[in-house]
Structure 1
């Protein structure tokens, strides 16, 4: 859970630069703002994923709201019972408590601008990254991620998107 929101100092990042938090374990994620920079108000990341992103399982965030803006490629997003194919320029808002998951099912790279408010999501990603360093067993890695996620209010409630049947796809926002 987050500390209270504090006053933050202004800052600017140059192209390719990211905040000083240690994100070497997840090079596809360019962290633009974390709680350290925003006074715990939000987390912002520019995420580039290759064609093999399976994405997280169906889950809810108990402590934060999440937003996604697609910059490149096609992201398949499930919110509740609806599946969406998000094209570049599409935006999705996923309030806390709403089941969702996403994946790259297109076979092409994707790039997404992600936001989480309040901040704290980055701490979960750091803990998972540290725990999984050197972990070769995918089942153990999945269980570690699920266990750590629960501590941060990330609750898995179903399978990943690529294992779900398609009930109806909504194209675009």
Structure 2
């Protein structure tokens, strides 16, 4: 009797073991990175940066809201508060996708050969290695944008913030290259 019970149990357990191995390896692959903070959440207040620091793009605050340090390098989130019209030069990211969400204001995005006007509530995806730029069309505006993976964008904005004197074209190109980007042309013209 015990032998029959053992054989029946073994036969029933075999399929379970066969399905369990891939699930266990999947669970191990999705375990949190041990370099992530132990805290399960944090809050970054309105108008503040993740580490209490302020980064600027020209006169425009560009706060780090979620750092690559928080996500094991998987994601970085920024809040751009546009207080002046304009935008970045035409460029591309070698290894990062970007997602922009318009909170306030109107923006013109150029992505490859496409031009898109966005307003509050609109979202646009910018794939890596595709030339792009944007310009703020209204006097004020606000964007939330996400970089995946985080890359070196936080350091890029820190370097730009601390730079009071204009960069030479060679210095600008080197700064972009050091942070995983390539400059391709000037910013879009500012419309009155």
**Equivalent-residue separation in structure 1 for 2:76 and 2:88 (angstroms):** 18
- Residue 24 of structure 1: how far off its partner (Å): 4.9
* Larger helix proportion of the pair: 2
Gaps of 5+ in 2: 1-31
SS of 1:36's equivalent in the other structure is coil
- Residue 19 of structure 1: how far off its partner (Å): 1.1
1:13 is aligned to 43
**Equivalent-residue separation in structure 1 for 2:119 and 2:125 (angstroms):** 15
Shift of the 15–112 alpha-carbon distance from structure 1 to 2, 3 Å rule, reads same
Superimposed CA distance per residue, residues 117-152 of structure 1 (whole angstroms, 9 cap, x where no aligned partner): 11121122122323x1x31xx4x3665333211111
CA contact (8 A) 1:59 1:155 kept: yes
Larger radius of gyration: 2
**Equivalent-residue separation in structure 2 for 1:6 and 1:30 (angstroms):** 25
- Residue 98 of structure 1: how far off its partner (Å): 0.8
**Equivalent-residue separation in structure 2 for 1:158 and 1:141 (angstroms):** 14
2:180 is aligned to 153
Gaps of 5+ in 1: 164-173
**Under a length normalisation based on structure 1, what TM-score does the superposition of the two structures give?**
0.77
1:111 to 122, 125, 142: 142
2:95 to 58, 63, 80: 63
1:82 is aligned to 114
Matching of residue 124 in structure 1 with residue 151 in structure 2: no
- Residue 91 of structure 1: how far off its partner (Å): 0.5
Instruction: Tell me the matched-pair count.
Output: 152
**Equivalent-residue separation in structure 2 for 1:112 and 1:144 (angstroms):** 27
- Residue 39 of structure 1: how far off its partner (Å): 1.4
Superposition RMSD in Å: 2.3
**Equivalent-residue separation in structure 2 for 1:51 and 1:24 (angstroms):** 15
1:44 is aligned to 77
- Residue 46 of structure 1: how far off its partner (Å): 1.4
